[in-house]
A = this chain, B = another copy of it.
């Protein structure tokens, strides 16, 4: 039982364990490099970064490891929010700003053209810096983009929440697909508009996807240890992507309050909400989610709501108050530990080998 799979072969890594590209400061250079140095694949969550920040971090990580690592980007989607809706959404946040004693920091509404331009510049950096692996969330980049990246031998990984999305990713020419189960923390990666219910648990999602695509499948959502790794391989996946398990590691850049909240949480306190960003995401229930629970439908789409709540989330964190922070977590917080990446990687691998022997 050497844990070699199509994913370890393709990505040139030792173990089929990928650190989920969590955006928003979690994936420090130390975290990414240490995952790659211990035999997994470290990933930069570059979704919110400027092209210069992406370049800077890629160079930092290259100083820390010779092993492969990757970058994840958000594929920009269209959004449609009127000036009035935006004003109303901003108004709805004012009582929380008053409570936190911070000013209305509303900026201009994000512009789609600008996001697309940033995305193209981010990809240019990845090519220039010769990053070997690039993954995408919230959609599929254009045919031309896929073609260009592949011409430079960059391995492309898409993110799907249903069989249909996985098939679309395969058809687009990407090399590997991450299937995100309903267990997953943070933002849902769904992009197909005709989903009735994209919240499919991994026990259902992995085998149904594996039966319909030929590219290797990586399982994501709630996987924290060797049991989850071996279960995913039994279901037909060729590897796992773990987020929350790495988020509470010492090398992660997550706010200490965020780590603490996960370490104390129970599985039924981790809920889905649109309140922070306008996109469905899973995190630990707190006052902010509670205040918006009856108004989920009125919240403007991502990234509009995301930009409107930024100041509140930041102020809440700096005031040491977890009630207005986005405390993203998967459904397995009871399995999270305060540990180093090395300890986590070693225990996952040791446990996986024990499970498989039984």
Contacts and interface: CB of A to CB of B under 8 A. Distances in A.
**Which of A183, A198, A206, A225 has the most CB atoms of chain B within a 10 A radius of its CB?**
A183
A203 B230 contact: no
A267 B234 contact: no
Nearest to A269: B196
Given A197-B271, A227-B235, A228-B235, A204 B330 contact: yes
A200 interface: yes
Contacts of A201: 181-183, 201-203, 221-222, 331
A267 B195 CA distance: 10
A285 interface: yes
Given A208-B334, A222-B201, A225-B207, A268 B196 contact: yes
Within the oligomer, what is the number of copies of this chain? 2
Interface string A209-239: 0011000000101111101101111111000
B195 A268 contact: yes
Contact of A182 (B162, B199, B208): B199
Contact of A231 (B211, B235, B285, B332): B235
A164 interface: yes
B163 A204 contact: no
A272 B197 CA distance: 9
Contacts of A318: none
A200 to B, nearest CB: 5
B202 A202 contact: yes
A125 interface: no
Given A203-B203, A228-B207, A231-B232, A270 B331 contact: no
A354 B231 CA distance: 14
A200 B164 contact: no
B236 A205 contact: no
A240 to B, nearest CB: 10
B203 A222 contact: yes
A230 B332 CA distance: 20
Contacts of A228: 203, 207, 235
A162 B204 contact: no
A146 interface: no
Given A234-B227, A234-B355, A183 B195 contact: no
A89 interface: no
Given A182-B199, A221-B201, A164 B234 contact: no
Contact of A208 (B163, B235, B285, B332): B332
Contacts of A205: 267, 331
A227 B236 contact: yes
B204 A183 contact: yes
Contacts of A204: 183, 221-222, 267, 330-332
Given A234-B227, A267-B200, A207 B335 contact: yes
A336 to B, nearest CB: 11
**Which 9 pairs, one residue from A and one from B, show the smallest C-beta to C-beta distance?**
A201-B201, A204-B222, A204-B331, A183-B201, A231-B231, A230-B234, A231-B234, A204-B332, A202-B203
